[in-house]
Structure 1
Amino acid sequence: MSQHKYENIKKHEAVPPAGSMIESLRDLGYSPETAAADIIDNAIFARAKNIWIDFKWNGKLSKVSFRDDGKGMNEDELIQAMRPGSQSPSIKREVNDLGRFGLGLKTASFSQCRLFTVLSRKKNTPITYWRWDLDYTTDPNTAGWTILNMADEEDIELTNNMEEGSIVVWQNLDRIIETNKKEISEDEFYNVAEKVKRHIEMIFHRYLETGKIKIIFNEIQVNGWDPFLKGEAATQPFPEELLENGSVKVKAYVLPHRSKLEEDVWIENEERGGWDTLQGFYIYRNERLLLAADWLGITRKKSHYKLARIMIDLPNHLDQDWQIDIKKSRARPPLSSRQRLKAIAMATMTQAEQVFRHRGKQIQRSLSTDFSFVWNEVVKNERYFFRINQDHPVIAAQIAKFPEKKKEIQKLIRIIEETVPGPIIIAKENEYPDSMVRPFEKTPSEEIVSLMKELFIGWIKQGFNSDIAKRKLLTTEPFSDYPQLIETLTDE
């Protein structure tokens, strides 16, 4: 019926001018990092095992190239791939397809350069190559949706030497080389390259960790960077949860307190934007990271949530439901999942705050009420303050040694409680986060070791067996920081 509806209506094709349309596509908001990731997506979909990325400085003649050993394309396939909007976002795709709109190769390349060439070769077939040149496309004398059958000789030779695969070459790098009409230096060019490399380390870390792909960046192999620090013993994983009939997997992690990490691991996170910045949800599609460190409107980033990170795995058939954008840098969960995600986030943030505030103890939620802290938080009339826990085993034992001095000791404790320099601590923590020196950090003092042994022997004498006495120490501050030392204690 819709075909007959306009049968007698005057019609005219409204084809957009190629030059102005492509110039508009250049401003979708790609950075060099997100643009490079889109090119890698195509190589992965082409079943590449190895990807070579090269940033070559030569002033305004500098270029960036991406080479892969994937299955390659014949001429008809390459011409189709060079066409903007080469596939509908609504069609059913292969499960390992990392694209959606058929725009990634073009919009990513247009965003960084005015000239890009793709050369490709399928096994046992001749090479093929085509080029977009925006100066040609926007010239009034040649304007049109025209690609050019040309490539540089060195790239043709390199492709001829490949059994199969593709090469994408960016030239006339106006968005990288020229910023504010000022040409950048060689050092600044390679700083851009380093940012791209670090982005790739995170976006494709799961591919790199499992060996599904190998990426060689300026002749150096790229290693994946895991934002969840799964290799650290003190990282606390939550059980995996399934949403949307099992299609979506969610797994939360609470990262270790600084005192539980080597300095270089802590600095690595700091250099990637800072611990506060890296908290939040990490959304993956087919193991490729789409959106990093975003609370999806559930909460704002706060310092005491800095150790909370949550992995969400999506299949590509949920792209529209999750509003995945062209750049693969935005996602929004459907209403059907938001409430459960909020509950998971709140549980993760609560645990992360405990670790942050109590210096990295492995406090399971089911056991947290049994944990003996030296300081207890008290809330009264919607205001909070801190009191020394006089039921703490060490404090209680010391008070019991001097029954005739109990009131004097309690007065002394009250003076300490009333003079806690809270405002100064908060101001220093805000100004110099994570720089406060912690007593007994990593290496316990002789006094701590002596008190630990004294408590352990005391519990043994009270009739507790060795295993129970050790468990009690593991839930008592500050001895809980030294599980290996606790394990060496004996009742002999």
Structure 2
Amino acid sequence: MLEPLATVDHMLLRPEGKGTIRALSRIGYELPAAIADIIDNSIDAEATRVEVTFLRNDHEITAVTIADDGRGMDMAALRTGMQFAGRTDHDAGDLGTYGMGLKSASFSQSKTMTVISRQSGNVVASRWSVEAIDNDWRCEVLDPVKAGNVFDELCLRGKAPSCGTLVIWERLDRLVVSQQADALDEYLSTAMPRLEAHLGLTFHRFLESGALSIAIVVRHERRALALPRPVRPHNPFHYPNPGASGWPKALDCEFPGLGTLSLDAHIWPAGSSADGFLLGSRKGVEHQGFYFYRNNRLIQAGGWNGVVKGDQDPELLLARVAIELPPAGIDVNVQKSALQVTASQAQALLAASDGEVDLEDFLEAARAAIRASRRTARGPGTAPAVPGQGVAMRIRRAAHKRIAGAKQAEEIGFAWGELDDGQVFNLDLTDMMIVLNREYRQAILDGSSASAADAPLVKLLLFQLYKDDFGRQRSSRKLREHVDLTNALLFEIIKIRLKDHDD
């Protein structure tokens, strides 16, 4: 035990403005998450309509506005909203958490943030800029008459609402594109669909219920016409029939610090091309895992939070779990995009059960469903496996002749990719690939040159060891244990070679 130290004086240490705002600007927000954080405030203000507008010219986005028809703010509420980590008493149903969302989201994308709000006919307006923050945190209070004119012009298409709030981002340092012709159009053509997909997923329950509508508008300064892009709900659990009999099930979990939580465990039908399954991706494998909701807002979309090793297990492609969180009691990151789950909480999730089956049984059922779909797709007479991409063509021909003869065969390819430390290889049973860790490529090659068909001995031995697991049902747990053991043995060799290289 340390000896108690006596206090002899105190220092008043205000945060340094420039350093604080620089840290906030690098807090990790992507544009869709930053806009979603502003929309949280609109929902808390009981808005039914939100509009996100990108104001542009030929070469750049000049401003972004987020407007709503919520209840608006008076000067006292605006002062609290503009204060960094202000002392805000949130209702249990509010989406706001730390009193930081408006500021951290805004300064992650811009250097100037203006808020104009109308309530009971009165307009209040205030503005933060990086310079004002560096100048002893002096937040500007703006002329309400001129601010009202801007509110009337920019707050929602058509007639401005009688009450509502308009947030304006200017000096957009994160949305700068090159000056090449069509660069801005190219950026917007990809950024707007991503934004729509993110907002449609995050707020899908509000959109489905009709409680909220969201539109995205790109408005050119020289053109009056700007067609809105309505945000559609993207429900990650909307499928016609489950992918396995008996599912979904509700599993109860005694979650440390929160009490009993219900886990709605779903298995999607295999081979689905539904929007809710792919969620903008090509295969949907990255969308497996836990979906945490709080007050109907999606906080985390997928990921296993340490309960399952790796978040993109091809055998858990179909597995998704919806969890409704209470309003408080668990740490969420500032961007409200992920949960901070402790080791004991992860263990509690794994132990979730309905008295007959638990989460482990659910994971095994999801693995069995994807294996069954692969067998069905291949038909009753499964073609033999042969080495494919990543092996020299002459070796591939010889292997095909010896293994399959004149029969049709199914190729198992090889690729170098990003894997966890200590993992030398992994089996991608969905894409029929054996993936080797790019970080250990030189150690595996042991002085040989890298090429598209390098490391033939290692690749063919792994192929021979696991080829049957790509084509027939087998205990997934035993397979994973065998892969882990093989990885551990191979990594011992890798460590020796890495040490020799360093010496």
Contact 1:120 1:127 in 2 (8 A): yes
Q: CA deviation at 1:278?
A: 1.1
User: Which residue is 1:25 aligned to?
Assistant: 24
Whether contact under 8 Å (2:236, 2:277) holds in the other structure is no
Q: Name the counterpart of 1:359.
A: 373
Question: Which residue of structure 2 aligns with residue 433 of structure 1?
Answer: 431
2:104 paired residue number: 107
> Which string of whole-angstrom CA distances, capped at 9 and with x for unpartnered residues, describes residues 47-95 of structure 1?
111111112222445211111111110011101101110137xx6x412
Q: Does residue 241 of structure 1 match 2:251?
A: yes
- Return the TM-score normalized by structure 1: 0.66
1:195-234 equivalences in 2 (<5 Å): 195-218=194-217, 219-228=228-237, 230-234=238-242
Q: Please tell me whether the aligned partners of residues 292 and 324 of structure 2 are also in contact (alpha carbons under 8 angstroms).
A: yes
1:11 Cα shift? Answer: 2.7
Does the CA contact (< 8 Å) of 1:252 and 1:348 recur in 2? yes
> CA deviation digits over 1:444-476, x for unaligned, max 9?
xxxxxxxxxxxxxxxxxxxxxxxxxxxxxxxxx
Which residues in structure 2 correspond to 1:131-170 (within 5 Å)? 131-138=127-134, 143-150=135-142, 155-158=150-153, 161-170=160-169
Aligned to 2:314: 303
Partner of 1:397: none
Q: Is the 8 A contact 2:306 2:346 kept in 1?
A: no
Q: What is the CA–CA distance in structure 2 between the aligned matches of 1:361 and 1:95, rounded to whole Å? A: 49
Question: Does residue 12 in structure 1 map to residue 14 in structure 2?
Answer: no
Residue 325 of structure 2 corresponds to which residue in structure 1? 314
Spell out, residue by residue over 1:281-313, the C-alpha distance to the aligned partner (whole angstroms, 9 max, x if none). 111111211112111112222212111111111
CA drift of 1:179 comes to: 7.8
SS for the counterpart of 1:28 is: coil
Alignment partners' CA distance in 2, 1:54 and 1:170: 10
Letter in 1 for 2:332: I
The runs of 5 or more residues in structure 1 that have no matched partner are 363-372, 377-384, 386-417, 436-492
For 2:366 and 2:98, locate their aligned partners in 1 and report how far apart those are by CA, in whole Å: 38
* Structure-to-structure mapping, 1:333-348, within 5 angstroms: 333-343=341-351, 344-348=358-362
Q: Note if contact 1:121-1:166 (Cα within 8 Å) is conserved in structure 2.
A: yes
Match of 2:43 in 1: 44
How far apart are 1:242 and its partner, in Å?
3.2
Verify the 8 A CA contact 2:291 2:299 in the aligned structure 1.
yes
Which has the higher mean CA deviation after the structures are superposed, 331-340 or 422-431?
Answer: 422-431
Residue 317 to residue 232, structure 1, CA distance change in 2 (3 Å): same
CA drift of 1:44 comes to 0.7
User: What is the aligned counterpart of 1:98 among 89, 95, 99?
Assistant: 95
Q: Which of 297, 307, 312 is the equivalent residue of 1:288?
A: 297
Task: Provide the rounded CA distance (Å) in 1 between the counterparts of 2:279 and 2:11.
Answer: 57
Paired AA for residue 233 in structure 1: N
Distance 1:357 1:18 in 2: 56
Structure 1 position 347, deviation (Å): 2.3
2:62 is the counterpart of 1:62 = yes
CA contact (8 A) 1:247 1:314 kept: no
Return closer, same or farther for 1:42/1:288 CA change in 2, 3 Å cut-off.
same
In structure 2, relative to structure 1, the CA distance for the partners of 1:119 and 1:375 (3 Å cut) is same
**Structure 2 CA distance for partners of 1:240 and 1:284, relative to 1, 3 Å:** same
CA apart distance, 1:102: 0.3
Write the mapping of 1:106-125 to structure 2, written as runs, cut at 5 A. Answer: 106-122=103-119, 124-125=120-121
Seen in structure 2, the aligned counterparts of structure 1 residues 17 and 190 have a Cα distance that, compared at 3 Å, is farther
Distance 2:62 2:98 in 1: 29
Seen in structure 2, the aligned counterparts of structure 1 residues 431 and 313 have a Cα distance that, compared at 3 Å, is closer
Secondary structure, aligned partner of 2:298: strand
Residue 373 of structure 2 aligns to a residue whose secondary structure is coil
Q: CA deviation at 1:374?
A: 5.8
- Counterpart residue number, 1:487: none
Is structure 2 residue 287 aligned with structure 1 residue 274?
no
Displacement of 1:266: 6.8
Shift of 1:27: 0.8
Partner of 2:394: none
1:341-369 deviations in Å (ceiling 9; x for gaps): 2244422221122221112899xxxxxxx
Q: 1:181 to 1:341 in 2, by over 3 A?
A: farther
SS across alignment from 1:175: coil
Asked if 2 retains the 8 angstrom alpha-carbon contact of 1:57 and 1:186, the reply is no
C-alpha distance in 2 between matches for 1:267 and 1:114: 36
Using the alignment, how far apart are the partners of 1:253 and 1:309 within structure 2? 5
Distance 2:182 2:174 in 1: 10
Shift of 1:190: 4.5
Q: Which amino acid aligns with 2:262?
A: K
C-alpha distance after superposition, 1:352-391 (max 9, x if no partner) = 22221112899xxxxxxxxxx9689xxxxxxxx9xxxxxx
CA distance in 2, matches of 1:46, 1:178: 34
TM-score by length of 2: 0.64
Q: Which residues in structure 2 correspond to 1:387-398 (within 5 Å)? A: none
Q: Is the 8 A contact 1:52 1:216 kept in 2?
A: yes
Relative to structure 1, the CA distance from residue 434 to residue 50 in structure 2 (aligned partners, 3 Å threshold; closer, same or farther) is farther
SS of match in other structure, 1:81: helix
Report the secondary structure of 1:166's partner residue: strand
Say whether the 8 Å CA contact 1:177–1:189 is kept in structure 2.
Answer: no
The 8 Å contact of residues 256 and 360 in structure 1, kept in 2 or not, is answered as no
CA 1:179–1:305: 2 relative to 1, 3 Å? farther
How far off its partner does 1:35 sit? 0.4
Write the letter of the residue equivalent to 1:253: H
Does 1:250 find its partner at 2:263? yes
Q: Equivalents in 1 of 2:129, 2:413: separation in Å?
A: 55
User: Structure 1 CA distance, aligned partners of 2:275 and 2:25?
Assistant: 37
Give me the identity figure in percent: 25
Q: Which amino acid aligns with 1:99?
A: G
Cα distance change on mapping 1:21 and 1:201 into 2, 3 Å: same
1:130 paired to 2:126? yes
| 1:249 shift after superposition | 2.3
Q: CA deviation at 1:16?
A: 1.5
Cα offset for 1:193?
2.8
**CA deviation vs aligned residue, 1:291-338 (integer Å, no higher than 9, x gap):** 12111112222212111111111012223xxx2121112213345543
* Cα distance change of structure 1 residues 180 and 318 upon mapping to structure 2, 3 Å threshold: farther
Q: Residue type of the partner of 2:248?
A: F
